[in-house]
Amino acid sequence: MQEKIENILKNIPQQGFIKLTSDKPAGISGADKAALIRKGNVFFNDGEYEKAKRIFLTTGYTDGLIRIGDWYLSQNNPVEAIRMYWIAPAPDRVEEWITKASGAVGKWLKED
């Protein structure tokens, strides 16, 4: 059991689990926001996900944040995916992953 706990602790990201913020997106005019979102979509489609993420976070673009979360899942990074879903907000996706995580923890607790 101790070995499993140690393995779990090794996989915790250095920056911690989830950093949440209640800050509103930057005060950007509608035209500037639309232009930034278009640029973020170009970055996303070109595979420049970190650049797209920065723009989507800045503008508070829900769909973009969800797509970034989906990309993190495809990269086997569920912690960052949940963070993006939480910020988006996409409560249905957050709930899905909380359910999966709680099931895994429950299974670990039942094992010796």
Give tens-digit pLDDT for 95-105: 888 887 788 77
Compute how many other C-beta atoms are within 10 angstroms of the C-beta atom of residue 111.
Answer: 7
Length of the chain: 112
CB 85 within 8 A of CB 94: yes
Please tell me the pTM assigned to this model.
0.70
Full set of structural domains in the chain with CATH: 29-110 (1.25.40.10)
Q: Find the DSSP H helices in 1-112.
A: 2-10, 30-45, 49-59, 62-74, 78-87, 91-110
Q: Tens digit of pLDDT for each residue in 27-68?
A: 777 888 899 999 999 999 999 999 999 999 989 999 999 999
Listed residue (68, 89, 95) closest to 22, CA to CA = 89
The residue type found at 8 is I
Determine the pLDDT at residue 22: 46
